[in-house]
A = this chain, B = another copy of it.
Amino acid sequence: MLDITRSTLAQQIARSIAEAIVHGQLQPGERLNEIELGHRFGTSRAPIREATYILEREGVVVRHPRRGVFVRDYTIKELKDLYDATYRLEELALTRVAAEATDPQLGRLHAIADQMGHAAKKRDIPTYIGLVEAMFQEVFRIAGNEVLQDFYAQMRSRLKPFRFMSLSHPDSLSHSVAEYQAILAALEARDLPGALAELRRKETRAVTHLLEAARERGASAA
């Protein structure tokens, strides 16, 4: 039952701000000034205010009552927790996929993986990122638990501002593709332990990668 209602001003502004955060125009820790944003978007403060609530629900922003809302900034510990939680959820989903996925469903995953390969060859990072999202969305759809799917989506949106770091290294694209293909191959062989092992490998690589980037960039001290 999707809501095809034209989106409200607040929602559009929320998307706009979220994009600004992802693209780094709004830095982690920075405060969102309602008046200033109102001027920037040519609206009163009301829709801005509601947009901040939307963003807060998505976890990309924190609100300190009577003080303001701030672009969420993560300590090293929090980043680790976020990654950890993300991968635990992926494990849960993969476990179900390995157990219950039908062949056509696996076929869909395979198709996405192929497209990822093409995008990676062309170094088309935006499409690549989109395909990764699509892949996981499909995985969680197969897993069949909407609550988990929602949580997972929320985590990915929280990690988005850090995503560009992960893919900054020149070879990481092809590495990344290989990892996904390895996991998928294990799934198609109905080899759950294998799939989980590949996932863990991917996780450790991703985490070390991200943490060193974050340290350089100086995410607030742990």
Contact = CB atoms under 8 A, between A and B. Distances in A.
**Residue of A7, A67, A148 with highest tally of chain B CB at under 10 A:** A148
Interface residues of A, number: 28
A148 B53 contact: no
A155 B7 CA distance: 28
Contacts of A56: 53, 57
A66 B11 CA distance: 12
A91 to B, nearest CB: 9
Nearest to A89: B88
Q: State the majority secondary structure of interface residues on A.
A: helix
B5 A146 contact: no
A17 to B, nearest CB: 15
A84 interface: yes
Interface string A1-14: 00101011001000
Interface in A1-53: 3, 5, 7-8, 11, 49-50, 53
Nearest to A49: B50
Interface string A64-89: 11110000000000100110110010
B81 A145 contact: yes
